Amino acid sequence: MWTKYALVLFALVGVAYCYPQGRVVNGTDTVIENFPFMVSLRGSTGSHSCGSSIIAPRWILTAAHCVYGAKASSISIQFASTELNANSANVAKVKRIIVHENYSSTDITNDVALLELSGQLVYNYKTIAPVTLPEQNFEIPQTTEGVPGVLAGWGRNYTGGPVQTILQEVALKIYSDEQCISLHNNETTVDNICGGVDEGWKGQCNGDSGGPLLYEGNIQLGIVSWSIKPCTTPPYPGVYTKVSHYVDWIKENCDSCV
């Protein structure tokens, strides 16, 4: 049975894995106008580290593992941008980091965090707009067919590959809880949601962490959390934090964010 410790080891030894020709991991080029809530989380050097999404003019939603142990002064976001650029003018500083109080870096549970910006973003609803959050405890139909979803981000094309500079999107299947838990040999919980394709080789990779799994266009059902390495290895779909189980927490921890 896979364990999360084994996944880390597999990630370390699998970087030379040869991918089948013609297969897609992180999808195709897209533009920020299709995902105006997408932002890039940046480290102190201005380089991309994780995906994130706008939920309010001064609030950003991301994964806890992206910011756990970090200082707010050391990170920023790039917004309203299709292309990553360390010298972009579309950069906002982070004032405060709120990591879920029950986040476990060992078990990778409650992998959700909020970033409060120093200032406010101004929506133009073309390149800057909020993502839509689901209702608390919303669930997709629990069928073997799952439902269609979309992942957007700047993550790597494959394990060990380069971070993309142009925003990517890929169409995925969102799996039922039963399928998600079964495919990952009970390593996930009902607080997770899975996204991928049955044949593999499409979905999240390093650099997509914290980004949104979308349903019906702009409803964020998932936050990229973890995956088996090499990225998108079948039959293991990517694992996301199930946003609908944390909407109340989001409301409790930021003012006027939903």
Q: Give the active site residue among 49, 53, 111, 184.
A: 111
Residue 6: what pLDDT? 41
Give the least confident one: 65-69, 161-165, 191-195, 239-243: 161-165
146 conformational bin, left if phi > 0, alpha if psi -120 to 50, beta if neither: left
pLDDT number for residue 26: 53
Q: Average pLDDT for residues 194-209, to the nearest whole number?
A: 95
pLDDT at 19: 32
Domains of the chain: 22-30+133-244 (2.40.10.10), 35-130+246-253 (2.40.10.10)
Instruction: Indicate if the pLDDT at residue 258 is higher than 90.
Output: no
To the nearest 5 percent, what fractions of the chain are helix, strand and coil? 15, 30, 55
Q: Answer whether 168's CB lies under 8 Å from 203's CB.
A: no
Element (H, E) at 220: strand 219-226
pTM metric for this prediction = 0.91
pLDDT of residue 4: 52
pLDDT averaged over every residue in the chain: 90
pLDDT at 8 over 90: no
Catalytic-labelled residue, pool 48, 49, 53, 65: 65
The catalytic position among 81, 176, 209, 244 is: 209
Backbone phi, psi, residue 191, to 5°: -85, 5
Which pLDDT does position 232 carry in this prediction? 94
Q: Respond yes or no: is residue 111 known to be catalytic.
A: yes
